[in-house]
Chain A
């Protein structure tokens, strides 16, 4: 499995987590899986960054959590997006769009 890994720019992980959680209640392991799948294995979130980020977002009241059973009957901590969390996600995705567009423009002219 020598998939090329990319490091996430600072602060982007929070946005990605918010985005993934926005799709519906989800536990930590699934979030990591989802990010990896969607990014076609480019982005691999390490546990060491994922969980501190989750706890940080929860403490900022952008995520809420509850314990529920999974399909396999195990108890897991499910995160879901709160209203302020949704607002934050919108904020971050707009600014991300602007930023990536700007970077794209620069990279194109440079070529």
Chain B
């Protein structure tokens, strides 16, 4: 092995080279990891506004922001779609922890409000002088009540709602001999009996009455148990007067209804991910969905497919309008903001009448504004989109979620019991509901 005599220079080179490699790596990564934070400079104020990242809302936000910047050159709003990721909630959490929050955020799930409010991350909106008049002009009394957190203060603007209704296949309804969509559990079950069948004679059912995802993810319950509970209880949520009280006959009735639906095989136990859209391809006759289904259905429906929407079913003997779960999204101001007053002005602008119309037209989502269907500004839109009008009328009878920092875990507890009792029939509804409530109380007490 022949060694040439090295000089000091070459190993300094080595040091430099490996050091440089590391330095370059570090610089490159730091470069990529820089994020934008709202700045202030001189007299001009800049606000950062995060919106949801789906294309419709990006377009909407861009339109609103452009118009605002044109009219308010002294308050520039920089719009950024929230980084699209596994879950916008995690991104928001990361930004709160890292103190890189925007001034205004418009995709906040109200269930998280209590968590962030208790962590002192949100600006209480009712401390703005004109809040009361704003709220009175926008909200119906019911929504006004819902906008208040546990401490009686308001931390968000309720922006839009996606009420859950029952989509149904019109052809099958009439073919099965029914002249109206099922309004009670009894009717639903009867229809299920007729419709669920094995159409190709291979011994396995291939047509079902409906479907709900059997995933145990906590938010799945919004589309079955929670919606039905709100409907059956005439608009009650899980918590009443600060106390968890959903372990009642209503919950049991809902659990029992859904348990029956599964045990009789009207809903499949399969995940249905392994094939194309079950409702549009006439594999299931009903589905509990929100207004997003309208756009989706229009885009993907096969030739000759007819559908409509009706309120979700309730037990017999219920009266009054049918309530449902309205998947709300809120606008919030983060406390780290250096210009809360200006941020508030922009936030109000986001929900002006004109922009609410834009919301409808550009994203087909319903603003949480009272009197939507009677307002002359919006009537033309609903005339063009009759399906959306169904949802708009339903939107008057909606409930959101309660205020609790452990809401997700409570829904998770319900989901666990739901899975065991409703989907797999392992325990009677009474026991499941009781245990779910017990666990929910335990979780809340552990705070």
Do A and B belong to a common assembly? no
Measuring CB to CB, which residues of chain B are less than 8 angstroms from any residue of chain A?
Answer: none
